């Protein structure tokens, strides 16, 4: 292991088969009372995949009652949020062009990187639900790609400031990862944190438990390659990987097309495009 991480997948190997079997049985009993509240695909996975249960036992220190409550809450949320219905057509192509959030490469431990660019962030009220769905859409992709082995969240803070701070979105992101995808994130890498953002960073760290906080690293230009190799990073993070990170799906609508579909005012679509355009070609 190149640097210490929180690896719930490996830790969960110590959880007994009997405990997993009992949790599965109790959860399926709950599901049977109101099956319409859950995805059939999720329930099928629960029936066959032990990690789907172990991650909640691990999160709750093998307290079966709390694990049962947590997994029930998570599976209901997935259905109500529409996680499995999300697709490229639900997001404006400008999101993909500006690359505020994307999956790219692996860290030195072989964990999938989920890269967030703070300077692209800007709170535009009409677009908050779409931004939240975009985050969940990519987290779900990371979940599918890593097959339980974890991902590393790399927050690129260079050139960001207070105007890029959206505490509500940060709280939403934290709760999604912590409550609904426990064990997905192995580590957090915070790159080039500006001094003006230190108070925000401390506030966010206060949400983490003691174990999670240990695996949150402040990194810089000098040591980023101690965490991620150059050939696994895009050029905007001093990398040599030439794979594109602005991948625009063919069926992705423009901001104005999506705004019309969602009932968002034209001027709000204009505002989004105006904000994101500078990041299309940087």
Q: What's the total number of domains in the chain?
A: 2
In terms of domains, do 136 and 66 share one?
no
Task: Decide if 20 contacts 35 (C-beta within 8 A).
Answer: no
Distance CA 236, CA 23 (A): 45
20-77 tens-digit pLDDT: 999 999 999 999 999 999 999 999 999 999 999 999 999 999 999 999 999 999 999 9
Q: Are residues 135 and 23 in the same domain?
A: no
| Overall average pLDDT of the 218-241 stretch | 96
Same domain flag for 36 and 145: no
How far is the C-alpha of 21 from the C-alpha of 19, rounded, in Å? 5
pTM, entire model: 0.96
Q: Which of 71, 81, 64, 73 is nearest to 49 (CA)?
A: 71
In the predicted model, what is the mean pLDDT of the chain?
Answer: 95
The rounded distance, in Å, linking the Cα atoms of 14 and 228 is 29
Residue (of 144, 166, 149) closest to 86 by Cα position:
144
Which residue range forms the structural domain that includes residue 227?
Answer: 93-279
- Facing residues of 185 across strands? 151
- Digit-coded pLDDT (tens) for 172-199: 999 999 999 999 999 999 999 999 999 9
154 strand-pairing partners: 115, 189
Reported confidence tier of residue 11, pLDDT bands at 50, 70, 90? confident
Encoded tokens for 138: 């990519």
Interatomic CA distance for residues 240 and 232, integer angstroms: 7
Q: How far is CA 170 from CA 88, 111, 236, in A?
A: 23, 22, 23
Whether the per-residue pLDDT at 161 is higher than 60: the answer is yes
Q: Are residues 270 and 137 in the same domain?
A: yes
User: Per-residue pLDDT tens for 98-137?
Assistant: 999 999 999 999 999 999 999 999 999 999 999 999 999 9
What integer pLDDT is reported at residue 1 of this predicted model?
Answer: 57
SS3 102: strand
Is 156 in contact with 116 (CB distance < 8 Å)?
yes
Q: Are residues 98 and 168 in the same domain?
A: yes
Do both 126 and 53 map to the same domain? no
Half-sphere exposure in the Cβ direction for 153 (13 Å, CA) = 24
**237 — pLDDT class (breaks 50, 70, 90):** very high
Do 218 and 116 fall within a single domain? yes
Distance of CA 229 to the CA centre of its chain: 21
Which of 166-171's residues contact partners 24+ apart within 8 Å by CB, and which partners?
166/121, 166/122, 166/123, 167/200, 167/203, 168/123, 168/128, 169/121, 169/123, 169/128, 169/131, 169/132, 169/135, 170/200, 170/204, 171/207
**Among residues 60, 81, 102, which one ends one of the domains?**
81
Q: Partners of 116 in the beta sheet?
A: 101, 155
Please give the Cα distance from 105 to 228 (Å, whole number): 9
CATH of the domain at 152: 3.40.525.10
Instruction: Write the burial class of residue 23 (CB in 10 Å: 0-12 exposed, 13-18 middle, 19+ buried).
Output: buried
152 and 41 co-located in one domain: no
Which of 80-94, 147-161, 218-232 has the weakest average pLDDT? 147-161
Structure confidence by residue, pLDDT tens digits, 80-93 = 999 999 999 999 99
Out of 23-37, 58-72, 138-152, 222-236, pick the least confident: 138-152
């Amino acid at each position: 292991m190149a640097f210490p991480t929180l690896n719930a997948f490996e830790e969960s190997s110590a959880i007994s088969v009997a405990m997993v079997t009992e949790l599965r049985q109790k959860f399926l009993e709950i599901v049977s009372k109101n099956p319409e509240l859950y995805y059939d695909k999720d329930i099928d996975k629960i029936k066959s995949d032990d990690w789907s249960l172990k991650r909640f036992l691990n999160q709750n220190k093998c307290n079966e009652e709390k694990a049962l409550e947590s997994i029930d809450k998570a599976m209901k949320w997935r259905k109500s949020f529409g996680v499995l219905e999300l697709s490229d057509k639900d997001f404006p192509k400008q999101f993909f062009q500006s690359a505020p959030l994307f999956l790219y490469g692996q860290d030195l431990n072989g964990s999938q990187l989920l890269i967030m660019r703070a300077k692209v962030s800007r709170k535009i009220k009409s677009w908050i639900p779409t931004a939240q769905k975009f985050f969940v859409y990519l987290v779900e992709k990371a979940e599918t790609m890593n097959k339980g082995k974890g991902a590393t969240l790399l927050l690129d803070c260079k050139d960001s400031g207070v105007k890029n701070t959206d505490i509500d979105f940060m709280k939403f992101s934290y709760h999604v990862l912590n409550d609904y995808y426990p064990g997905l994130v192995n580590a957090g890498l915070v790159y080039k944190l500006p001094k003006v953002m230190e108070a925000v960073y401390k506030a966010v760290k206060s949400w983490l438990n003691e174990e999670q906080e240990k695996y949150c690293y402040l990194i810089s230009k000098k040591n980023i390659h101690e965490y991620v190799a150059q050939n696994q990073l895009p050029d905007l993070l001093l990398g040599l990987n030439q794979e594109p990170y602005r991948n625009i799906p063919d069926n992705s609508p423009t901001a104005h097309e999506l705004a019309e579909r969602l009932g968002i005012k034209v001027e709000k679509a204009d505002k989004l495009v105006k904000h994101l355009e500078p990041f299309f070609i940087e």
